[in-house]
């Protein structure tokens, strides 16, 4: 009895599996259709751009031109947004996009030609600083980010051109053409804005890449390493749990910063120690961001976020002990309060 019963169970299970598969096949779009649909998703297209080496030649040419035109210095720091503590580009792009969107919406109503034209013109003027800040940031990105950034920039330049021609049409008595060109410009600008979002939010351009000290380092003092293990006057990397730290010993004093550069995560312990405005600083080996060793303040971009810093002391037994600088300030405030 056992054998027929087993066969029946297997046949039943096989039938159920076949039915399930038929249902799945019906529900699932056919292979090429499915692939086409996946590829048409905006995120998939943006990912393809990331992996498109065909863009590398124009990326190299434009990047070289931008780097030559914007050498490191105070002017380039302003374009990066160093004085504001965050990239200037995301804030500035709101102006042209806002003006152009409003112009296209006003075009839907009668008697708004003058207001629409003014908004198109203001948007064009605002696109200049927006482009300058974007190019400065773009020139200090990784290659796959630069590929997406290039298509983003070309889209926005195309949108600006369409709005420019639209303004010309409006000024020369062809408002109908002007409205159509503005609508086209807004569509192209929207594609460019999507790629800008992909660059910032998916690929992390503009975000701080420093490690989240608040989550990875508990409050209080931690043993880092014996003082004698640190070479005097040379940058060294030491591990504190999950955190990579940069340490610079100067006699009995030790400066400690998070090792992953806030710009794009470069290894600061491979950088150089330089003096900026009479303060000892470290420059990142990747794109030259410069941080003050005493507190991680940004002295030069492209980084805009402060590098997480640690306070240090030497214990009775000659060990370097560290604690997050912000936590220690809070502790001091608590103690004072
Ligand atoms: S990773 Fe770009 S400056 Fe450090």
Rounded Cα gap, residues 59 and 73, in angstroms: 23
Q: Which helix (H) or strand (E) holds 141?
A: none
Distance CA 198, CA 202 (A): 5
In angstroms, rounded to a whole number, what is the distance separating the alpha carbons of residues 308 and 314?
20
pLDDT attached to residue 169: 96
Residues 327 and 218 placed together within one structural domain of the fold: yes
Examine the domain organization and report whether 127 and 6 are in the same domain.
no
With a 6 Å cutoff on the Cβ, whether 300 touches ligand 1 is: no
Q: Is 87 helix (H, G, I), strand (E, B) or coil?
A: coil
Are residue 60 and residue 180 in the same domain, yes or no?
Answer: yes
Please state, in angstroms and rounded to a whole number, the distance separating the CA atoms of residues 247 and 255: 6
Question: Could you please report the per-residue DSSP string of 174-224?
Answer: -HHHHHHHHHHHHHHHHHHHHHHHIIIIIS-TTS--S--HHHHS-SS-EEE
Same domain (yes/no): 12, 159: no
Let me know if residue 172 belongs to a domain: yes
Give the separation between CA 71 and CA 121, rounded to whole angstroms. Answer: 31
Residues 178 and 235 both lie in one domain = no
The response to whether residue 117 sits with its C-beta less than 6 Å from ligand 1 reads no
* DSSP summary character for residue 116: H
Residue whose C-alpha is closest to residue 140's, from 86, 260, 59:
59
40, part of any domain = no
Mutation choice for ligand 1 from 259, 264, 282, CB with most ligand atoms inside 8 A: 264
Structure confidence at residue 33 (pLDDT): 54
Residue 41 covered by a domain: no
Backbone angles phi, psi at 169, to 5 degrees: -65, -40
Does residue 59's CB lie within 6 angstroms of at least one atom of ligand 1?
A: no
Within a domain: 142: yes
Determine, yes or no, domain membership for 39: no
User: What integer pLDDT is reported at residue 217 of this predicted model?
Assistant: 73
Q: Are residues 164 and 22 in the same domain?
A: no
Q: What is the DSSP string of 214-245?
A: HHHS-SS-EEEEEGGGSPBTSEEEEEETTEEE
The predicted pLDDT at position 15 comes to 62
According to DSSP, residue 302 is labeled S
Q: What is the pLDDT of residue 99?
A: 96
Which residue has 């792009």 as its token pair? Answer: 93
> How is residue 266 annotated by DSSP?
-
Last residue of some domain: 154, 177, 202? Answer: 202
Instruction: Identify the domain boundary among 180, 202, 224.
Output: 202
Domain assignment present for residue 36? The answer is no
Q: Exposed, middle or buried: residue 266 (CB in 10 Å: 0-12, 13-18, 19+)?
A: buried
Whether residues 10 and 100 fall in one domain:
no
288 CA: nearest ligand 1 atom: 3
Regarding the beta carbon of 303 and ligand 1, being less than 6 Å apart is answered: yes
Do both 180 and 230 map to the same domain? Answer: no
Q: What is the position in ligand 1's atom list of the atom closest to the CA of 303?
A: 3
Is residue 207 situated within a structural domain?
no
Contact in structure between 190 and 234 (CB atoms under 8 Å)? no
What pLDDT does residue 54 have? 93
**237 falls within a domain:** yes
Do both 178 and 323 map to the same domain? no
Helix (H), strand (E) at residue 82:
none
The conformation of residue 52, written as its DSSP 8-state character, comes to: -
Domain count, the chain: 3
In the block, tokens 């599996």 appear at: 17
User: Do 149 and 220 reside in the same domain of the chain?
Assistant: no
Contact 213, 222 (CB under 8 A): no
CATH number of the domain that residue 328 is part of: 2.102.10.10
Residue 60 belongs to domain spanning: 46-202
Q: Is 279 helix (H, G, I), strand (E, B) or coil?
A: strand
β-strand pairing of 235-240 with 243-250: antiparallel
Which of 175, 202, 229 is at the close of a domain? 202
Q: Are residues 175 and 291 in the same domain?
A: no
CB 232: neighbour CB atoms within 10 A? 11
CB atoms within 10 A of CB 157: 14
> Which DSSP letter does residue 70 get?
S
Residues of the chain with pLDDT under 50: 1-10, 25, 327-328, 330-332, 334-337
CA 303 to ligand 1 center in whole angstroms: 7
CA distance 249 to 234: 7
Q: Mark whether 188 and 236 lie in a shared domain.
A: no
């Amino acid at each position: 009895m056992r054998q027929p019963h087993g066969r029946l169970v297997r046949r039943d299970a096989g039938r159920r599996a076949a039915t399930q598969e038929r249902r799945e096949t019906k529900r699932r779009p056919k292979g090429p259709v499915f692939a086409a649909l996946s590829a048409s998703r905006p995120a998939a297209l943006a990912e393809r751009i990331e992996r498109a080496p065909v863009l590398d030649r124009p990326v190299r040419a434009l990047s070289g031109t931008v780097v030559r035109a914007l050498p490191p210095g105070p002017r380039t720091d302003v374009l990066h947004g160093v004085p504001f503590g965050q990239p200037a580009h995301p804030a500035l792009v709101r102006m042209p996009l806002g003006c152009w969107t409003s112009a296209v919406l006003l075009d839907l109503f009668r008697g708004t030609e003058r207001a629409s034209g003014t908004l198109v013109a203001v948007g064009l003027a605002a696109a200049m600083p927006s482009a300058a800040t974007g190019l400065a940031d773009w020139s200090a990105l990784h290659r796959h980010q630069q590929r997406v950034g290039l298509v983003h920039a070309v889209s926005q330049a195309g949108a600006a051109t369409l709005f420019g021609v639209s303004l010309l049409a409006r000024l020369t008595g062809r408002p109908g053409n002007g409205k159509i060109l503005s609508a086209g410009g807004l569509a192209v600008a929207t594609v460019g804005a999507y790629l800008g979002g992909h660059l910032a939010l998916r690929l992390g351009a503009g975000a701080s890449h420093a490690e989240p000290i608040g989550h990875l380092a508990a409050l209080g003092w931690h043993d880092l390493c014996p003082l004698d293990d640190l070479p005097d006057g040379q940058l060294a990397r030491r591990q504190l749990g999950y955190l990579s730290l940069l340490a610079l010993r100067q006699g009995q004093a030790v400066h400690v910063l998070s090792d992953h550069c806030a710009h794009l995560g470069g290894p600061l312990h491979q950088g150089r120690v330089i003096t900026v405005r009479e303060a000892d600083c470290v420059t990142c080996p990747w794109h030259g961001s410069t941080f003050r060793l005493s507190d991680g303040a940004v002295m030069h971009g492209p980084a805009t976020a402060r590098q997480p810093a640690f306070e240090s002391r030497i214990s009775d037994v000659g060990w370097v002990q560290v604690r997050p600088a912000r936590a220690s300030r809070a502790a001091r405030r608590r103690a004072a309060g």
